[in-house]
Structure 1
Amino acid sequence: MARPRTTRIAVQLMILGAIVSVVQGVMVFANTDQLRRVAAEQFETQGLEPTPELVNSSVNAAMTVTLLTGLGYAVLWLWMAWANNKGHRWARIVATVFYVISVLIFIYALFTPAPVSARVLATLSLAIGTAAIVLLYRQDSSDWIIEQTASPNRM
């Protein structure tokens, strides 16, 4: 049985998800002024004086974490694209676990300050993940994964 169209599209969506993750990581550099403003506001709400050193330190840490997180997510997206493209049964399960975790992170992030562009990209990423997971659980994808798993020539 040939790889079904639903699986091929799901894999392409995962590759798109990796690209969006890299863009999310890099976009933080376009939002430094907004990050500085948000950091200063957060310090003030905590009763701290937002000194330039404190704000710069926080912004630099946030930029580093965001960039590394974006790259890490991209690697996970690509790993899941590769594994699901091969028809590994475990890959669909792991992708589902990653998806559930991403939904929880998305919900948490709704209650934290973030630039509008970050929220738009996070929503896009979640929509891509939702579409990919739905496609992986379509009957033709499921049948193909079962066939791939049962094949004696698998590596």
Structure 2
Amino acid sequence: MSDQSPAAGDYFGRTLPSPLRYAVLLMYVGTAFQVSVGIFFFSFVGSLRTDPRVINTYRDHVAARGGDAQQMIDSAVSSWRLAAVGVSIALTALWLTMAWAARTGKNWARPTATAIGLVGIFGSVYTLLGGFEFVAVITLVLSAAILVLMYRPESAAYFESVRLARS
């Protein structure tokens, strides 16, 4: 058997079970959500250049220590934007890699998804303890749903059948 890229929903002649198909679909939803959050954050950080609270904070800092407030603001905004782009690219790649790994029945997909999902769940719960955050709610729901779907008996059987077909 060849290890070529499978057709949608088919790997080593095995059809992707419904729960796993939905888990992969939710991973693509997570990808789109991640890109949206990254774009929003990038735009939001840019708006800080003209936020009176930020300007006043930096002016107070400059008055106490010296320097150019606007240059400091511009530098901070550029750094945050660069970080936002880097994190968004990394997390988007992670979502896509996990969708591919689950769809193709990689034996490391479920343990890795479990570790990442638990980080998402615990991080979301921790964030929500401080108050309502839309992104945390979406992350919590996606992480929990994906993990439940990946550990359904049909999904376990799929991963096992692909593992056996590889050996």
- TM interval, shorter chain, is 0.7 to 0.9
Distance 1:99 1:23 in 2: 20
Q: Which amino acid aligns with 1:135?
A: L
Partner residue of 1:19 out of 28, 32, 42: 32
Q: Which amino acid aligns with 1:124?
A: I
Distance 1:59 1:110 in 2: 26
Per mean C-alpha deviation after superposition, the further-off stretch among 60-69 and 50-59 is 50-59
Per mean C-alpha deviation after superposition, the further-off stretch among 123-132 and 79-88 is 123-132
Residue 9 of structure 1 aligns with which residue? 22
Deviation at 1:37, TM superposition (A): 4.1
Deviation at 1:102, TM superposition (A): 2.8
Deviation above 2 Å: which 4+ runs of structure 1? Answer: 32-41, 47-50, 100-112, 119-123
Tell me, yes or no, if structure 1 residue 85 matches structure 2 residue 103.
yes
Unaligned runs of 5+ in 1: none
Q: Which has the higher contact order (CA 8 A, sep 6+)?
A: 1
Deviation at 1:100, TM superposition (A): 2.2
Deviation at 1:139, TM superposition (A): 1.5
Native 8 Å contact 1:36 1:59 kept in 2: no
Q: How many residues align?
A: 146
When residues 37 and 138 of structure 1 are mapped into structure 2, their CA distance, relative to the original with a 3 A threshold, is farther
Matches within 5 A, 1:122-137: 122-137=136-151
Tell me, yes or no, if structure 1 residue 97 matches structure 2 residue 115.
yes
Tell me, yes or no, if structure 1 residue 64 matches structure 2 residue 82.
yes
Distance 2:87 2:50 in 1: 20
What TM-score do the two structures reach when normalised by structure 1?
0.76
What TM-score do the two structures reach when normalised by structure 2?
0.71
Native 8 Å contact 1:28 1:67 kept in 2: no
Unaligned runs of 5+ in 2: 1-13, 63-67
Residue 61 of structure 2 aligns with which residue? 48
Deviation at 1:57, TM superposition (A): 1.5
Distance 2:118 2:53 in 1: 29
When residues 36 and 8 of structure 1 are mapped into structure 2, their CA distance, relative to the original with a 3 A threshold, is farther
Task: Give identity over the alignment, percent.
Answer: 25
Q: Which amino acid aligns with 2:162?
A: Q
Q: Tell me which structure has the larger Cα radius of gyration.
A: 2
